[in-house]
Structure 1
């Protein structure tokens, strides 16, 4: 089944009374009103997840704008959302799963197996004419355990591969490093939030917007496979992904998984990288680009 669940499958589970934990992760850069959007309209029974406070630790320059939180904090949040060990979890948002993919990656990384993104998100549910609710949903506390990542005391040492800045800097020498941000940010033409504009030397531009169709649904696996092959990715080439702060890069990891390709995530991403003056940044349309001061 991969990382996706479609609307028909989710509705069939709901109609059959099968236990499914629904999590609403509405967040977008520049829009701090995710909870308000959720309260106005959400899938029946869906619990709101606040990305900046529950899927990230406080921002610090050395770790970026959305550092991974301590594993114990993430476990406590997952229990608040009502997740039990063995549950089927479906995450969604209203932006083509660009935010929900962060939760998908983190739960998979913490060891959960049955974690899915609702393909097309809230828009697909609405388009199917299915019911919505207002106000907060109540959930009983869960008992899920993230013992393995807690034992390692690091969310970067879980079930999903992850890399750090040092590895990201040398990745292009052995594989393909994808930059999942918009092309203008990759090229250094526009940088709204991070201290330097451009990209990590050797990185290839691969905007997450190209992973989905006009309705916010992921492209079919063969189309995603072709997209990544055109970027130089084959089965024997190691792949890693970064974005601005480690959020939409998780969407690229999901798209690669749909295409049958396992990829590593650089959680600190460009917000961490660009805050370190000792690390080079390049601009332009090519992976090598022009080195910036």
Structure 2
């Protein structure tokens, strides 16, 4: 018997053995997850079951990959196809990698003594799964970011037109708006290079929430206090006025006039501030030497 024939027979025998013990590996993995990962044991039964399905799919896919390593990318991706979409929102990438690690540890224990070749195959496959997990979460984050951008543009446009509806508060909450106090709208020109993340970072340092709308050459910021302003004294703890906040955000706008609308008591009234800011912006050119912001 040739070496290649013997290797083929050995591989088939190993595959048959792996299929026989796959159920034991799945059971041991779920038990290890329960014992070693607190976040798993604290999950609702439905989500815990979904995580278990991912672990079991990983074990089954490893056996398929061991039989045909050329199918690694497709097989690894199929693992996460077994999970419901909401699982990506409830389980972090770090937790997913912990899941992969526990599954690999249990599988290594079960296949100990079957030769280094099988162990090396398991480690190589777990690397493929880890890379696939990172790709899945990156794609989900990208999709979420695009959705948030579209939703934010819709909310800002709704505020500018004043055509509010009952769904506006829920849309704003979905964008992570924390403010429940005063609101003002700032209108200016869009710079040639506009960095949304820098604006958000500066706004957080100033203690305000911000909704950003880029409408061609016009840049609109809806500003809201993250906390209710204090009315006790006017010392260092007093919050910045919206005019001071606008002055701090002024470098992020392009050249031209920068107009701040009046302060409203709540976000639902922001359209009044927006109308005033837009009206002022439309006629600001008639005021020679107007301050920035005005």
Q: Which category describes the TM-score, using the shorter chain as reference length?
A: under 0.3
TM-score (norm 1): 0.21
- Higher RCO, Cα 8 Å, sep 6+: 1
The structure number with the bigger radius of gyration is 2
TM-score (norm 2): 0.21
